[in-house]
Amino acid sequence: MAKYGKKAQNAVAKAMHKYKRGQLKSGKSGIKVKSKKQAVAIGLSEAREKGVKVPRAP
């Protein structure tokens, strides 16, 4: 069972793809992301920016 909608899943998948290749960077600092949880959070955040319905961050 999916936890988020299809478009949100796509955003997270893109973030994970970049993470696995070592290309995902966080925020303004541009530091390379080191954890999977952080990569998922970035993917969801990007989905929220695009207007996708994603539950708010806790």
Over residues 8-56, the pLDDT tens digits come to 999 999 999 999 999 999 888 899 999 999 999 999 999 999 999 888 8
Global pTM reads: 0.83
1 band by pLDDT with thresholds 50, 70 and 90: low
Cα–Cα distance, 4 to 10 (Å, whole number): 10
CB atoms within 10 A of CB 47: 22
pLDDT at 40: 93
Q: Which residues, listed in sequence order, are joined to residue 31 by a DSSP beta bridge? A: 26
Say whether 15 sits in a helix, a strand or coil: helix
